[in-house]
Amino acid sequence: MNMKDIAVKCGVSVSTVSRVINRKPGVNPKMREQIQKIIDENGFRPNQIAKNLLSSKSENIGVVLPMVHSYFTKRIMAVTEVCQKNNYGVMMVNNYYSQKNILNSIYSLYEKRVDGILYFESICGKEQTAALKEINKKIPIVLVDQELPESEIPCVVQDNYNGSRKATEYLIEKGHRKLLYISGPSYDWGANLRKKAFTDVLKKNGIDSSCIREGKFSLNSGYKIAKEVIQENNDITAVFCANDDMAIGAIAAIKDLNLNIPEDISVIGFDDIDMANYIKPRLSTVRQDHYGIGEKATELLIDIIKNKKAKIKKIYMDYELIIRESTN
Amino acid sequence: MNMKDIAVKCGVSVSTVSRVINRKPGVNPKMREQIQKIIDENGFRPNQIAKNLLSSKSENIGVVLPMVHSYFTKRIMAVTEVCQKNNYGVMMVNNYYSQKNILNSIYSLYEKRVDGILYFESICGKEQTAALKEINKKIPIVLVDQELPESEIPCVVQDNYNGSRKATEYLIEKGHRKLLYISGPSYDWGANLRKKAFTDVLKKNGIDSSCIREGKFSLNSGYKIAKEVIQENNDITAVFCANDDMAIGAIAAIKDLNLNIPEDISVIGFDDIDMANYIKPRLSTVRQDHYGIGEKATELLIDIIKNKKAKIKKIYMDYELIIRESTN
DNA sequence: TATACAATTGCAAACGTTTGCAATTATATA
DNA sequence: TATATAATTGCAAACGTTTGCAATTGTATA
């Protein structure tokens, strides 16, 4: 069933049907009513693909994001909500696999002629970077969690460094002198900034900053690293994790070692996922406004799509240190 | 840049370019090489929208799902992975809002001519049901977490009833006689089955089954209900929650009441989210294979799309009772 | 060299819309 | 009634591909 069929049923031309569907002027009110009736009776919905071909717009945006983090729900909710409000569809790709797959996925989004791409990630291999720059010549891209130097691609980033600095300073103020830092993967742009802030603060205070391990942002890696390191170094009094999942893993490990939190060891995370406020002890953490990040990024992208021009090159998001029960 | 431009640059017709791009026979090998070179040099990628219009296939599937549950990550990962393997794009819609918005979203997916729809949800209003049946006349749909009686729409469901029955029987076996059940919202198809199993088992054993409250599947609702009910009824020895989030909320509440788990009160959840194994005490729960559910549903949908016919009408997923530290 | 056949290439229709413009019809004015 | 004007309607091109068929070119055989 297409507009032609409706037109034949109504004894008019497709142009007229088109005008009725799009509520455009130039149709006799009586005729309009009749045609609308036939459309409704047949449950006809116009083929957007044909429309897209003509307008060279798909009214879809591509979203590339790693679906592993606990907070990704918040972000994708923001994206879908903003898109729905602006009548954009959301084409999702999980960039959790091999570089090659991701590249294919990005090109596939381009072939599907999405109007823009939202790229959530702070991993960026050489090939990927090149591909993004290449595609950005044809369609707008907004990066989240990452900035690409020598490029004009706008981005939304958190102040990873200062968030991490504040948390570290807090621990030092509280008197901790032997700290374990569980970082994210070394290929992660944001993870490296957080780690740097940690070591900078420790060095500045003349404290040993050698107790750093690299985790995978997962519950399990937090658990394993915390257990192992604390068993070997019984003078550790604080653990700072680069995300909440690892912090929750670390808490489980510390409890399994029959130590108390925060009496024996303080734990602090990063993200403030919903769960952080419901585990016991409630997790102190650095809050990121995940919903806001998704929202701002999507709004920026849509603005660029509509106005062909990025007014803003970079959006910095706030952080907030949330002290709950897991630190003292 | 389109095929015409490439054709002009190469001094051939679009047909020839098309044959090169699609690796079809009928092109002089030397010419093929030359054309491929120009294509690569210009980074040309064919417009799938035009292709779709011609083939009446979008090579996209629509995914409607509530992004609120902690386990949705697992499911959507399975969906995207299977789709990527089969060269389908994923168009996502969050059905977390008002009925009206959801209806619009479903119709919008249809207008975008997705090749099929994956509908994750066990809420189904009258209007939505009607819309699904209507759309199912035009494109295949697979339901997850819900079956629609009097309809031919295939579905993937868990054995909610038996999963819940097993968990309840376990608690009874362990000697619990005063139990609190925190259910999901009453409009949720699965939640009602779980609740029914609970009451059936209790009645069968001649145990009072009146202590039932309705939560919202959220951490907070679990926390609030558990705190309130346990404060009022100090003889409760077990809490069964219809999902893990509420169970984790309940555990926080019980700890805040200075009671011990499982010594004073046992807690059991439903879902087995990753976090369940990393909170302390580790949460006993009914495991659902979330990845498997997403995988099976997507494979079923793609099979129907390709073969125009559902070989299977209904897939029942297994459940597994996982006993950890939160029950005794 | 003429003929048959295979390989290569291009033409043009089709997919389902939108829209500027022309054609037709209805209405108002002189 | 003739004319000017406004309202309604339809025609046809365009969007960027794919593909059956016809046309052309090249090659092998008689």
pLDDT, tens digit, for every residue of A199-219? Answer: 999 999 999 999 999 999 999
DSSP A315: E
What's the average model confidence in pLDDT over A259-276? 97
Number of residues in chain B: 328
Q: pLDDT value at position A150?
A: 82
Check if the beta carbon of residue B226 is closer than 8 Å to that of residue B253: yes
Query: Chain B residues with CB inside 8 Å of A275's CB?
Result: 219, 248, 275
| Chain A nearest C-alpha distance from B224 (Å) | 11
| B49 shares contact with chain A (CB less than 8 Å) | yes
Q: pLDDT value at position A64?
A: 93
Contacts of B108 (CB under 8 A, 6+ apart): A87, A89, B93
List pLDDT tens digits, range B51-74: 999 999 999 999 999 888 888 889
Q: pLDDT value at position B114?
A: 98
DSSP B158: E
With a 7 Å cutoff on the CB, does B14 touch strand D? yes
* Cβ contact B84–A91 (<8 Å): no
> How many Cα neighbours within 13 Å face the side chain of A274?
20
Pick B67's closest partner by Cβ from A76, A101, A280.
Answer: A76
For the beta sheet containing A319-322, the strands, ordered from the edge strand earlier in sequence to the opposite edge, are A212-214, A179-183, A238-241, A266-271, A284-288, A319-322
Query: Which of B280, B283, B295 has the highest number of chain A CBs within 10 A, making it the mutation to test binding with A?
Result: B280
Number of residues in chain A: 328
d(CA A263, CA A254): 11
With a 7 Å cutoff on the CB, does A19 touch strand D? yes
Check if the beta carbon of residue A90 is closer than 8 Å to that of residue B80: no
Question: Residue B11 CA to D29 C1' — how many Å?
Answer: 33
**A117-131, A167-181, B30-44: which range is least confident on average?**
A117-131
Work out the pLDDT band at A99, boundaries 50, 70, 90.
low
* Cβ contact A89–B91 (<8 Å): yes
What's the average model confidence in pLDDT over A301-324? 92
Residue A179 clears pLDDT 80, i.e. is over it: yes
Work out the pLDDT band at B97, boundaries 50, 70, 90.
low
Residue B115 clears pLDDT 90, i.e. is over it: yes
Work out the pLDDT band at B147, boundaries 50, 70, 90.
confident
Searching chain B, which residue's CA lies closest to the CA of residue A92?
A: B90
Q: Chain A neighbours among B 296-325 (CB < 8 Å)?
A: none
B35 nearest nt, CA–C1': C9
How distant, in Å, are the alpha carbons of A93, A101, A122, A282, B85 from that of A96? 9, 9, 12, 30, 14
Check if the beta carbon of residue A142 is closer than 8 Å to that of residue A153: yes
Which pair of structure tokens corresponds to residue A275?
């769960």
Q: Which residue is nearest to nucleotide D25 (CA to C1')?
A: B28
Q: Which residue is nearest to nucleotide C26 (CA to C1')?
A: A28
A26 nearest nt, CA–C1': D8
Residue A97 clears pLDDT 90, i.e. is over it: no
Q: pLDDT value at position A315?
A: 95
* CB-proximal positions of chain D, under 7 Å: 7-12, 14-20
Q: pLDDT value at position B124?
A: 61
What's the average model confidence in pLDDT over B127-133? 85
Burial of A54 (0-12, 13-18, 19+ CB in 10 A): exposed
* Cβ contact A94–B77 (<8 Å): yes
With a 7 Å cutoff on the CB, does B53 touch strand D? yes
> How many Cα neighbours within 13 Å face the side chain of B190?
21
| Chain B nearest C-alpha distance from A261 (Å) | 12
Q: pLDDT value at position B87?
A: 95
Angle, helix B29-41 to helix B14-21, in steps of 10 degrees: 80
With a 7 Å cutoff on the CB, does B52 touch strand D? no
The radius of gyration computed from the CA coordinates of chain B, to the nearest angstrom, equals: 26
Query: Chain A residues with CB inside 8 Å of B73's CB?
Result: 67-68, 70, 72-73
DSSP A145: S
Angle, helix A72-85 to helix B72-85, in steps of 10 degrees: 70
* Cβ contact B89–A108 (<8 Å): yes
Greater pLDDT, A124 or B180: B180
Q: Is B39 helix (H, G, I), strand (E, B) or coil?
A: helix
| Chain B nearest C-alpha distance from A3 (Å) | 13
d(CA B115, CA B132): 14
**A52-56, A97-101, A225-229, B15-19: which range is least confident on average?**
A97-101
Q: Chain B neighbours among A 141-170 (CB < 8 Å)?
A: none
Q: According to DSSP H, which parts of B151-241 are helical?
A: 160-173, 189-204, 219-232
Q: pLDDT value at position A239?
A: 98
- Return the C-alpha torsion angle A15, A16, A17, A18, nearest 10: 50
* Cβ contact B77–A58 (<8 Å): no
Q: pLDDT value at position B193?
A: 94
Torsions phi, psi for B61 (to 5 deg): -120, 150
The distance from CA A228 to its chain's CA centroid, rounded to whole angstroms, is: 31
With a 7 Å cutoff on the CB, does B130 touch strand D? no
Q: pLDDT value at position B105?
A: 87
Searching chain B, which residue's CA lies closest to the CA of residue A246?
A: B278
How distant, in Å, are the alpha carbons of A256, B72, B119 from that of B65? 37, 8, 6
Searching chain A, which residue's CA lies closest to the CA of residue B43?
A: A134
d(CA B43, CA B46): 10
Residue B161 clears pLDDT 90, i.e. is over it: yes
- Return the C-alpha torsion angle B161, B166, B170, B176, nearest 10: 10
Q: How far apart are the first and last CA of chain A?
A: 68
Work out the pLDDT band at B272, boundaries 50, 70, 90.
very high
> Of B209, B193, B186, which Cα lies nearest the Cα of B146?
B193
